[in-house]
Amino acid sequence: MDLQPAKTEVRENDIVLVYVDEKPAFFARVEGFTADHKPKWWHVKLLMLTMPLRVVTWVLRLEQINGVEPFTMGGTPIRIEKVVAPPEQATPEDESETTPTQESAVENEKQQHAEPDDGSSKASILSLGSKKTD
């Protein structure tokens, strides 16, 4: 008995990676599914995340949509794989970070608006534009 690897079902708004000739070719967002007139076939609308963006509709079976079964287009092998974000891993830096309190935020605000220590309270303006000549 030939067992297929467990695949997660592709749904509307999922991001998929499309392989062409067994090489990653482009990402796409699944825009929707519409039943075809043939049983077990579906029109799958994909927004290709390329420049420029393109919308395509492919007629596929569920096994092809979910990446269990590759298919061909014009003799070229195509495979779809759902993109699943990896789980976030806590780092020692993340664990040591604390959320700023309201008191520390107020203190920081005061420091930013404090008067200069040199006694001069005059501000100067620095122009980044060109100098006007008369």
Q: Where are the domains of the chain?
A: 15-82
Tell me the pLDDT tens digit for each residue of 9-22.
Answer: 999 999 999 999 99
Q: How far apart are CA 48 and CA 23, in angstroms?
A: 16
CB 26 within 8 A of CB 79: no
Per-residue DSSP letter, 88:
P
Query: Whole-number mean pLDDT of the chain?
Result: 81
Query: Does the pLDDT at position 29 exceed 70?
Result: yes
- pTM recorded for the entire structure: 0.61
Residues in contact with 85: Cβ distance below 8 Å, sequence separation at least 6, in sequence order: none
Percent of the chain at pLDDT exceeding 90: 56
User: Which is higher by pLDDT, 92 or 133?
Assistant: 92
Place of tokens 């303006």: 125
- Check if the beta carbon of residue 35 is closer than 8 Å to that of residue 15: no
Per residue in 47-97, pLDDT (tens digit) is 999 999 999 999 999 999 999 999 999 999 999 999 998 888 877 665 555
CA-angle at 128, arms to 123 and 130, nearest 5°: 120
